[in-house]
Amino acid sequence: MTTVYDFTVKDRLNNEVNLGGYEGKVLLIVNTATGCGFTPHYDPLEEMYKDFRDQGFEILDFPCNQFADQAPGDAEEIHQFCTLKFGTEFPQFAKIDVNGEDALPLFAWLATEKPFAGFGKGLKNAALNKFADRNNKKFGDKAYIKWNFTKFLIDRKGNVIARFEPTTDMKDVRAAVAAELEK
């Protein structure tokens, strides 16, 4: 059975990182963007990281520019933006694709384990769904992720246990992380 620990990714300096090094930790894996309406998610993410990292929690941040070109810049520019504007300290990895032929295998696996189940109800969510569908048509059956700031919660054994779309209230994400850390 595949777990998150079977994947190798590149950090923001392009060094290979085997995710097996995170074994035994609760992980939140997120694709991010610096120019998105959801970019303020960095604040509650950093708050969670500071509050929970001593309990075995890590956030793995993967910048992605596939959604309306909302993550321009190279890895260093993105890192500077995140650290200066939001004070992020959690690990940031190389800029990646999450959809299409060049999708990082990790994200293809995450999305296969926990497929998209909708953005939720309401006008804003319906509008985002239409926009995301138009954006992702070019990826066909390889449109794994619908938008920036999709989050995957991984248990201490490396299994995907939850998927949170960017429209999910960050308080709900925090509650799920806290509950998983208590197990």
Active-site positions read 36
Separation between Cα atoms, residue 55 and residue 52, nearest integer Å: 5
CB of 25 closer than 8 Å to CB of 56: yes
CB of 147 closer than 8 Å to CB of 132: yes
Helical residues (DSSP H) of the chain, grouped into ranges: 42-52, 75-86, 105-113, 123-136, 170-181
Separation between Cα atoms, residue 110 and residue 152, nearest integer Å: 7
CB of 17 closer than 8 Å to CB of 11: yes
For the purposes of burial, counting CB atoms within 10 Å of the CB of 28, is it exposed (0-12), middle (13-18) or buried (19 or more)? buried
Separation between Cα atoms, residue 21 and residue 139, nearest integer Å: 31
- What length does the chain have? 183
CB of 104 closer than 8 Å to CB of 62: yes
